[in-house]
Amino acid sequence: MDKKYFYSIAAAFCFFSADAQSLLESKKTFSNSEQTTLKLKTDALSNRISDQSIGIIEMAVAKDWMKAPNSYIFEPSQMNDGIYIPVNKAYSMWSGYEFLGYSGIPSGVVTADVLWEDNHGLIKSGVNYALEVVGSGQSAKIKVPVNKSKEGNAVVVFRVNGEIFWSWHIWVTDDPTNGSTYKSYTNVRREKSDGTLEVIPDAEWKWMDRNLGALSNSITADDWNKNQGLLYQWGRKDPIPSLVDRGNDFYEVSGSIGRVRHRQAKNFDNAQNFDNLRQFVPISSASVDNNIKLSVKNPLSLIYVNKDDNSGPAYYNNNANLMINWFGRSTTLPDSRLTELNLWSDNSKGKIATYYNYHSSNAPYRNKSSFDPCPNGWRIPSMLVSNLASGSYVDDIRIDYSPFGVRTALGKNSFEANRYHIIKPNDNNVPAFMTGFKLYPNVGFDLSNAGGFDMGVFPGTGGIAINAQGGQYTDQHHVGLWTATMVRHFDVTPAVGSRLLYMIPDKGQTDVPDSGNPTIKGRYWYTPTASVKTSDANGCRCIKDPLYQLNNYDFPTEYINTVSEYTVGLDNPNTYQIVKDDEASVVEIPVSKAFAVQSQLLNNPDILNASSFNDLKVNVLWATNANLINTVNVINPSPGSLDDLANSKIVVNVNPNQSGNAVVTLHNGSITNPVYWSWHIWVTDSVIETNVYATEAPNATATNYVNYVPKGDVLKTEFMDRNLGAIDAFPSVANPLTPTAEEYAKIKASTGLQYQWGRKDPIPSFQYADRSSYDIFLGNVNSNGAIVYNTLTAPSYNDMAGNYIVPYNTYTNASNANVQTNDKVSDKVAKVLSYSVENPLVYMIPSSFAPRNNAVPNYTNGTDWLLDEPNVANDRWGRGGKKSPFDPCPEGWRIPDLTGVAIVSNKDFGMSPWYKKDKNITASYNLVTDYLGVQVKNLSNASVGFVFNNTADAMGNYPNAGSRGFRSVMANQTPVGTYTVNNFQYPGVWTAALASNYIGRPINILFDAASVTDRFIAFHDNNDPYFGMNCRCVKVNYNQDGFEEGPIPAIPVTPGSTMKASNVFSKSEISEKVKENKIVLFPNPVKDVLYIKATENKEYHYQIYNASGQLVKSGKFENTQTSVSSLVQGVYLVRINNSEALVKIIKK
């Protein structure tokens, strides 16, 4: 289906660069008379601090609850079920903070709820997202139970009579506290409560390893598309979600505020535009008192000060470089001294120093602000001076006075005049303090060896500026991280900006960073002392608070005690693959996954009751070969406790010399009772091999720009040699028009199975690639484990009035999933997923379809099997994160991911693992002349498959297995007649991603097998998620920390990477290779960290294989150790340095 198109998504322009100079240029616009007009009589209390929580005088013993945190970290791995939030902070702020009027909180009905969450069901809330308030009055606490199988962000609000009086950010992620210990200025100081100053000890200085609200500290690994964090207007405590992940995946937030989406979303059914929440305050009423109250009561609203006629933003003296701050104007401070409001506790308290670059002028850290957005024990880092520039308006502030600065005393002007802020392609002729800067073009920066120091890793944050890009979130590759410092000139110029770290990795710009390499282009800037408007929304990176314990404002988190939680086996595979053998084989499947998923993801905690697992049964739901399985049984069918469930396993006895596919199901009491979970048994004729495909080789000169190419991204992917469920790989036929009988047999065996997008269970197509038909066999297992089969034919399965093709209105009715209109989104999802789990063989089809967007057909929404709306649960197959619990691939494999999902005209390069250099991924290219492939046909001239074995484009071989339900979504083709047939003109292979802009259409590769076209598309999204298509798994790789790597290569891709590689041992090889050796791995059994002891001092690389001979993990022992925590329980074989040693280990 030939198409070229572009999405109306914000272009990637650099909107900060103009602002970076505006605060200096603004001074030039004032005449002498204007200066006189602006020179206001200063308040007699020139040294006052409006936030009473900041200061050096403390009460003797009592903690100041105004300094209690505004955010809480919750690590899902810990043995707690959530947190309690004391509401004392709210009462203390309203009674003790000047700009809240010292007014106190009125009496009335006290409630709490989840205002918003960015992962449906993250917080276990009640009806209308309500939360329990425990206790009363100032001693009350909000109980916030967390779904520990999820990660994300939420904001919880405290209300009186329905009105918000405070809010807190809940950050659910793995431990973010093990970051860099880098100090830009070694003698940075702190002020203790008794007024003494001291240098902060190195041991007490630390950064978080990620941005505030980010779910990952990595540019390339697990949750790489959620590493940007949340956004904040300077001085505000509440986060703003971007509503667009890295890679341009759109998401919504939902809660008591409703459902909120980005303005560029192409569906707003039952949702509102984020822009509609913005608050525009007329300049005549924009006082600090009013606007700070407004910010507290509207945590999800960006606040801007407008002209009184509401014609746009208000500026001082109509100077566009002097936008009035979001918090407005003060009645007691002149505009030039608004820095002294000190909303985030600047070290200088907003006051400028005369000799600002002297060592003696570096201001110490003081008590944390009441509006600081960081969790307890952490804070926003500060500049060491608040000066904006010299008396001649030159910004010469020392670079090392920024907490993000490199170690040089150069001023900003000299630093940039020498072009040190431009990161060069390599370190040739670069000063020592700027060596080691690494960037990933259009993604972010790795400064873990910058100037010889570990400064941390900095993914792009993006940002929002009301006067750039239409005031919407954009430029997600740019880094913008606030400091606590609002800056000012020495004179009466209004203060309107704050310092931040600003970095650009923009490959799309035409700059030439190094004249010696004119073909390497892009804007790659590092500016640690940039200044932008306080009204802009940027990211935050917290540092360890050097005073919270010394100065008595430590507020440790109080946790909810754990009740029945069960997560054992949650990440176990849904498919078990072995190679047929001349002896009987055994497949063992832990049943624990069923109970983990049901209780954690499907809202079924009752399954953890003992009565739900007192008589476990297994059935063979269906098989393609009635002789494949001899018997199936459950070991430990009546476990005595939840802990004992880990010892319960399904044992599948596979007959010798048999191959095929089967699905086994778990029940309790009887195999006629509901299905708890199901697993795919995949027995192949041949060993699975892999095909490594690199889209292109990067520029070897640009060593500081990781995998730099002029257009798009470099991807390197290790594909399976066959589709999921294929018994053999598609052969490289000698003559594509007349395959031999042996080749025909392999073509037939290469067909594989079909999957609806996001479902774990295969659906048989009932046709092979050679167009011949097959039946499947429905099993009925007796008490001894023996199986009796009944045949299910294609006509019976495809009977629209039968039991296997079920429409949405039927499977969501009261007799089935029982989806209610007023259900929360997370509840609807859980109900329909539960139906799909209980009915693994059902093809779930829509009852109605998303209407065509006649104005822009490309914006037509996809029609899903999950809900009757698009884009919900867009991570069903693990998009951007680790392998999903619903991923259909075997252990060590997963559905392939993409680096991006938004198509911008003439920028659609890279992104897809099947990308070919210089070919637009959304365009339809000739398979033969452009992709150097071959279409294989049968004697009737019908397509049976596609071969890509040219060394330049060796992407593997693919059968033409057809597709079920296929239609053109954008053309609004009728689905009638598509559910029951295979469409052999348009076969495809799924990816894990949905298209951008909340459209809800899944992305695949598509073949057009028509003889007159013979075309291939590497990025095709004219699909509905209910289609049935093939899957081609890719190998899961892990980084040194044990996290799954994503599609962005972490290291430079080397040329010549296209190759065939075997990833398995046969059973006989395993038996032969286990032997005594001089290399010892310990402890064994191992739970988390595996150590190596060897006689030789050299590098040791490893490959770990499961009992079936499948490669599941590889890497290198670092400091004689590696993490194996990601492995499931079982027996493994570890190969050291290409079989130098092989050791069997047991993973606990």
**454/535 same-domain check:** yes
Is residue 560 classed exposed, middle or buried when 0-12, 13-18 and 19+ CB atoms within 10 A define those classes? middle
Distance, in Å, from the CA atom of 1011 to the CA atom of 666, rounded to the nearest integer, reads 46
Interval 1054-1096: pLDDT, tens: 764 443 434 444 444 444 444 334 688 888 888 888 989 887 7
Per-residue confidence (pLDDT) for residue 1147, from 0 to 100:
83
Distance, in Å, from the CA atom of 1108 to the CA atom of 578, rounded to the nearest integer, reads 6
Per-residue confidence (pLDDT) for residue 1078, from 0 to 100:
63
Per-residue confidence (pLDDT) for residue 61, from 0 to 100:
56
**Which is nearest to 682 in space by CA: 804, 573, 770?**
573
**816/864 same-domain check:** yes
Determine, yes or no, domain membership for 71.
Answer: no
Cβ atoms 691, 424 nearer than 8 A: no
Distance, in Å, from the CA atom of 233 to the CA atom of 463, rounded to the nearest integer, reads 10
Place of tokens 């109080």: 558
Determine, yes or no, domain membership for 957.
Answer: yes
**Which residues, listed in sequence order, are joined to residue 153 by a DSSP beta bridge?**
171
**520/632 same-domain check:** no
Domain boundary among 561, 580, 604: 561
**598/502 same-domain check:** no
**Which is nearest to 881 in space by CA: 892, 894, 891, 871?**
894
Determine, yes or no, domain membership for 882.
Answer: yes
Helices (H) and strands (E) in the chain, counts: 11, 57
Tell me the C-alpha to C-alpha distance, in Å, between residue 912 and each of 269, 711, 814, 982, 1019.
Answer: 30, 13, 41, 26, 7
Domain boundary among 541, 561, 581: 561
CA 166 to chain centre: 28
**505/653 same-domain check:** no
Strand order from edge to edge, sheet including 1059-1062: 893-894, 1034-1035, 716-720, 689-694, 1059-1062
Tell me the C-alpha to C-alpha distance, in Å, between residue 602 and each of 118, 392, 674, 920.
Answer: 18, 65, 14, 40
**Which is nearest to 177 in space by CA: 218, 215, 206, 148?**
206
Kindly give the pairing relationship between strand 80-86 and strand 141-145: antiparallel
For residue 373, cis peptide bond before it (omega within 30 degrees of 0): no
Distance, in Å, from the CA atom of 735 to the CA atom of 714, rounded to the nearest integer, reads 33
Stated as kind and residue range, the H or E segment containing 89 is helix 88-96
Cβ atoms 207, 183 nearer than 8 A: no
What DSSP character marks residue 244? B
What DSSP character marks residue 42? P
Determine, yes or no, domain membership for 114.
Answer: no
Cβ atoms 534, 497 nearer than 8 A: yes
Per-residue confidence (pLDDT) for residue 992, from 0 to 100:
99
371: number of Cβ within 10 Å: 25
Q: What is the CATH number of the domain that holds 1127?
A: 2.60.40
Q: Which domain holds residue 1104?
A: 1064-1147
CA 734 to chain centre: 44
* Buried b or exposed e, range 946-972, using 16+ CB within 10 angstroms: bbbbeeebbbbbbbbbbbbbbbebbee
**967/1102 same-domain check:** no
Tell me the C-alpha to C-alpha distance, in Å, between residue 399 and each of 347, 402, 436, 884.
Answer: 16, 6, 18, 44
Determine, yes or no, domain membership for 47.
Answer: yes
**Which is nearest to 852 in space by CA: 844, 863, 864?**
863
**556/573 same-domain check:** no
Per-residue confidence (pLDDT) for residue 1129, from 0 to 100:
78
**230/219 same-domain check:** yes
**605/513 same-domain check:** no
**1074/949 same-domain check:** no
Per-residue confidence (pLDDT) for residue 6, from 0 to 100:
28
CB proximity list for 1096: less than 8 A, separation 6 or greater: none
Cβ atoms 523, 506 nearer than 8 A: yes
Q: What is the mean pLDDT of each run of 10 residues along the chain (1148 residues)?
A: 33 36 39 33 30 37 92 94 98 97 96 99 97 97 96 99 99 97 98 97 98 97 96 99 97 98 96 98 98 98 98 96 98 97 98 94 97 99 98 97 98 98 97 98 97 97 95 94 98 98 97 97 98 98 98 98 87 97 96 97 96 98 99 98 96 98 99 99 96 94 97 95 98 94 97 99 97 98 97 98 98 98 97 99 98 97 98 97 97 97 91 96 95 93 93 91 97 94 97 98 97 91 98 92 90 63 43 52 85 81 78 84 84 78 81
What DSSP character marks residue 990? E
**604/630 same-domain check:** yes
Please give the angle made by the CA atoms of 949, 953 and 958, to the nearest 5 degrees. Answer: 55
**400/420 same-domain check:** yes
Tell me the C-alpha to C-alpha distance, in Å, between residue 264 and each of 273, 275, 478, 779, 996.
Answer: 9, 11, 20, 49, 9
Stated as kind and residue range, the H or E segment containing 558 is strand 558-561
- Structural domains in the chain (count): 4
Interval 546-591: pLDDT, tens: 999 999 999 999 999 987 789 999 999 999 999 999 999 999 999 9
Per-residue confidence (pLDDT) for residue 949, from 0 to 100:
87
Length of the chain: 1148
